[in-house]
Amino acid sequence: MAALVNSFRNVLYRNSSVIGRTFTRTAAVGVYSNPRKHRVQQILLPESTSILPSLLQKRLYSHGEPLSLDIIRDRVLLVLKLYDKVDADKLKLDSHFINDLGLDSLDHVEVIMAMEDEFGFEIPDGDAEKLLRPCDIIRYIGDRQEVYE
């Protein structure tokens, strides 16, 4: 039995390149000569239609809606209300995160990260340490986004 397995393995090893070339060629011919492909192209693309414009990619960027201090205030308060450790009844613009709302330093970092996600820019650690009230965050984002009112 072992001799039969060895001889079969040797035959496969010697002919592996032939088997590989045949399989590759057969697969390529099958894909290349697919008659359904031409029929689909005739149905979807008339003769006068060029494929080139559809292959060109365009990227269109735009700025978000223009921000005002009212919009920034509403978004900041919404993010803070949705944070599970903040009591919405105690939340005011002048509420201190640690003293009034009872957040610890890790919660403060999570709040700052939520603000970064909401407004789409990174707040450096040095600035984040100074943002201890919602009004501080609103003023900082307004200055950063150049909102003047």
Token output for 73: 């205030």
Torsion sign, CA atoms 77, 78, 83, 89: positive
How many domains in the chain? Answer: 2
Catalytic residue among 70, 74, 87, 104: 104
Task: Identify the pLDDT of residue 118.
Answer: 92
Q: Which domain holds residue 93?
A: 69-144
Same domain, 139 and 117: yes
Is residue 104 part of the annotated active site? The answer reads yes
Instruction: Tell me if 76 is assigned to some domain.
Output: yes
Same domain, 50 and 110: no
Same domain, 79 and 136: yes
Instruction: Tell me if 112 is assigned to some domain.
Output: yes
Per-residue pLDDT of 7-62, as tens digits, reads 767 766 676 666 666 655 555 555 555 556 556 555 555 555 555 555 667 777 77
Instruction: Tell me if 16 is assigned to some domain.
Output: yes
Same domain, 79 and 40: no
Neighbours of 67 (CB within 10 A): 16
Same domain, 50 and 85: no
Task: Identify the pLDDT of residue 18.
Answer: 62
Calculate the average pLDDT of the chain: 80
Same domain, 79 and 138: yes
